[in-house]
């Protein structure tokens, strides 16, 4: 039963975010922020597929224990693509609110992303082994959490200052995604049931993507009416 439900959920998720991303890229009509948002959604879905597809195959066939290497490699790739996702989201913030300069802030984003990726590449993570070191799961997620916190603050402040109704909950979707993800990092190895929090975490990311998609549709329609 778990195999059917989880596989169906993951398939709907991957198809949805990748499809929405492609629609945004094609329908952005010259808007850099929405084209970036589309690529962000595609990176999210494509990156997650490296982990979720092998997981679905494992659940529907011989079990997770027989897919240690593909699952580990998938997690490794997903860790990098999620970092890229937040860098792209940062640039969506810059384009949407027409942010100029602030090179120091951009440098912080790149440093946090680079540190995260370097930590993900360290052999101590033992991605391809059956037993990963829990401590390295924490180490590599510290810069990732700081990057997420930075993006949360930026969207919360800018949406409020600009009375941006369409993006008013963007900060909350990121809060929820990290709120569900952090307990998994800390305790999933000792309490496997906590891994179920990845489902609402995934839903939070779908909400993030839908915010961008509906904002694009609304703003493009408004432009057509005034043209």
Mean per-residue pLDDT for 147-175? 96
Structure tokens at 98: 């027409």
Domain coverage including residue 203 = 2-226
Residue 211: which region, alpha, beta or left (left: phi > 0; alpha: psi -120 to 50)? alpha
Specify the pLDDT at position 3: 76
pLDDT at 225 over 80: no
Specify the pLDDT at position 113: 98
| Confidence class for position 226, pLDDT limits 50, 70, 90 | low
Mean per-residue pLDDT for 147-174? 96
Work out how many domains the chain is built from and give that number. 1
pLDDT at 121 over 80: yes
pLDDT in tens, 24-76: 999 988 899 999 999 999 999 999 999 999 998 888 888 877 888 999 999 99
Structure tokens at 33: 């922020």
Supply the CATH number for residue 174's domain.
Answer: 1.20.1070.10
Count, residues in the chain: 227
Cα–Cα distance measured from residue 138 to residue 144, given in angstroms and rounded to the nearest whole number: 10
pLDDT at 161 over 60: yes
Residues 6+ apart with CB under 8 A from 83: 113, 116, 117, 120, 144, 147
For 126, the 3-state DSSP assignment is coil
pLDDT at 114 over 70: yes
pLDDT at 169 over 80: yes
């Amino acid at each position: 039963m778990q195999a059917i439900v989880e596989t169906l959920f993951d398939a709907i998720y991957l198809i949805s975010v990748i499809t929405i991303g492609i629609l945004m890229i094609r329908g952005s009509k010259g808007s850099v922020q929405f084209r970036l948002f589309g690529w962000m959604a595609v990176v999210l879905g494509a990156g997650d597929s490296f982990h979720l597809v092998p997981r679905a195959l494992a659940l529907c066939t011989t079990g997770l224990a027989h897919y240690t290497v593909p699952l580990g490699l998938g997690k490794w790739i997903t860790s990098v693509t999620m970092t890229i996702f937040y860098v792209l989201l940062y640039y969506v913030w810059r384009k949407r609110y027409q942010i100029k300069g602030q090179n120091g802030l951009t440098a912080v984003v790149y440093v946090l992303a680079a540190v995260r990726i370097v930590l993900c590449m360290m052999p101590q993570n033992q991605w391809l082994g059956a037993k990963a070191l829990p401590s390295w799961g924490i180490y590599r997620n510290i810069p990732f959490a700081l990057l997420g916190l930075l993006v949360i603050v930026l969207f919360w402040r800018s949406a409020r200052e600009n009375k941006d109704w369409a993006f008013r909950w963007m900060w909350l979707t990121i809060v929820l995604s990290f709120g569900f993800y952090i307990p998994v990092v800390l305790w999933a190895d000792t309490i496997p049931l906590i891994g179920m929090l990845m489902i609402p975490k995934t839903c939070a990311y779908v909400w993030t993507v839908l915010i961008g998609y509906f904002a694009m549709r609304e703003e493009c329609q408004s432009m057509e009416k005034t043209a």
